[in-house]
Structure 1
Amino acid sequence: MKQPLGVILAGGQATRMGGGDKGLLHLKGQTLLARVIDRLAPQVAGLALNANGDPARFAGFGLPVLADSIEGFAGPLAGVLAGLDWAAARGADTIVTAAADTPFFPGDLVPQLLLAADGMRHPLALAATPDPDRGRVRHPTFGLWPVALREDLRAALQGGLRKVVIWTDKHNAGEALFPVSGFDPFFNVNTPEDLARAETLI
C-alpha cells in the first residue's frame, strides 16, 4: 500500500475555548497546529488542513486548506470527506487524520493504523487507548480512511449521519491500540484548563 496522505482536522467551532481556532493557540512558544504538523508530516506522503472560513489565517503554515463540502458543521466526518476528495484528486489510496488540538499523539500513529487495517478489503482503522472503566476508548478524529469509500461516506453525511463510529462500525473498522503512560497521548485541548495542563506535560 502507498504511504497515506495526512489531513489535520481543524474544522471544529471551539465553543469551550470561546470560539476561534484552537490550533492557533500557543503552547510553550509554538502553536498547537505547528506541533501537530511536526508529528504528522514525517509519517505521511503529503499534508493538508481541513478548516472552514477564510483560509488566509493559516497561510503561514504553507498547507492546502480544504473546506467541508457538506454544509452546516457536520463534524469530523465532513473533514474526512474533504480529505478523501483531495486525496482522490492526487491519486492516493488512503488518508490518515489527526486533530489540530492534540499535540501529544503517538509518533507511530500511521504505521500502527496501517497494521490494524492490514488484510482488510478497505483499509479503515481508528486509534484507541485502554480505559480502566470502559475497556478501551476510540479516538474518532485519528484514523486511516480509504478513498474507495468516499462516495459511501458522502451519501451517509447527506443522509444526516454525524457520529463517526456508526459509520466505521458499519465497515468493520480495525482498531490500533496505543499504550497510555502517565497520560493519554490523545489528550486534546478543549478548555483553558486543558491548555494549562498541556503546558505541564511538555
Structure 2
Amino acid sequence: MAELSPLDVTGLVLAGGQGQRMGGQDKGWVEFRQRPMVEYAVQLLRPEVSTLLISCNRNIPRYSELADLTVADELEGFQGPLAGIQAALRVCKTDNLLVVPCDTPLLSEQVVGRLLATAAEHPGHICVLSEADWWHPLHAVIPGKFADSLDSWLEEGRRGVQGWMRKHPLWR
C-alpha cells in the first residue's frame, strides 16, 4: 500500500467555528475525558505531518501553544470551515493538507492512516473519509493545487464544503 511521507503533508485542525450547537463555547477547549478536545486531534496528527496548523478565530494564544502555526479566517463573521481551510492552504508548503475538526476526539490512528493511504494511491484527488453512502468532508486530504479554486468559490459567496469538493477529482 502506498504511503505519504510526513514531509508531503501539512496537518490542519479546524477549531475556528462559532460553537453554536455548544452554546457559543470554543469547541476545541471543551473537555472530553478530562482533556480539551483539540488535544486529541493534535496528538493524532503530530506524528503524521511535517507542520501542524490550527485554524482558530479566538483563543489564539492558547492554540498557538499546541501548533507550529495558527491561521485565522480572512473572511469576517465565522464563514464556515472552508474559510479555515483557505487560510491553511495559503501557508501550506506541502503538496497535501490533512484536515480534521477539533471536535472528533475518538478519531483513530487507523482512520487517519486510511485517509493518508488513499491520498497516496489517488494523487491529485480530494480524499474524504466515508462510511457507506455517508461521507465526512471535514476529515480529508486536500491537494494544495486546489487553493485557487477554493478562493474563487468563497469569493462567489459559496460556503458548501461538499459542493466545492465535488468540483474536483474526489475519492471517498
User: What is the CA distance between 1:46 and its match in structure 2?
Assistant: 1.7
RMSD: 1.9
Residue identity opposite 2:169 in structure 1: N
Q: Give the distance between the partners of 2:50 and 2:67, measured in 1 at CA.
A: 15
User: What is the CA distance between 1:82 and its match in structure 2?
Assistant: 1.1
Q: Give yes or no for the alignment of 1:166 onto 2:125.
A: no
**Gaps spanning 5+ residues in structure 2: where?**
none
SS in 2 for 1:85: helix
Comparing 153-162 with 106-115, greater Cα deviation is found at 106-115
Residue identity opposite 1:137 in structure 2: W
TM-score (normalizing by structure 2) = 0.87
User: What is the CA distance between 1:118 and its match in structure 2?
Assistant: 4.4
What residue number does 2:107 align with?
105
User: What is the CA distance between 1:151 and its match in structure 2?
Assistant: 0.7
Structure with greater Cα Rg: 1
SS in 1 for 2:151: helix
Q: Give yes or no for the alignment of 1:53 onto 2:55.
A: no
**Gaps spanning 5+ residues in structure 1: where?**
131-135, 176-202
CA gap of 1:121–1:107, structure 2 versus 1, over 3 A, is closer
CA deviation string 1:127-162 (max 9, x = no partner): 1123xxxxx211111111111110111011110111
CA gap of 1:54–1:32, structure 2 versus 1, over 3 A, is closer
Q: Give yes or no for the alignment of 1:3 onto 2:16.
A: no
TM-score (normalizing by structure 1) = 0.75
Q: Give the distance between the partners of 1:5 and 1:109, measured in 2 at CA.
A: 17
Which of 21, 24, 40 is the aligned partner of 2:26?
A: 21
Contact 2:54 2:67 (8 Å CA) reproduced: no
Contact 2:94 2:144 (8 Å CA) reproduced: yes
Aligned runs of 1:24-39 on 2, under 5 Å?
24-39=29-44
**Number of residues of Structure 1 aligned to a counterpart in Structure 2:** 167
Which of 120, 135, 148 is the aligned partner of 1:138?
A: 135
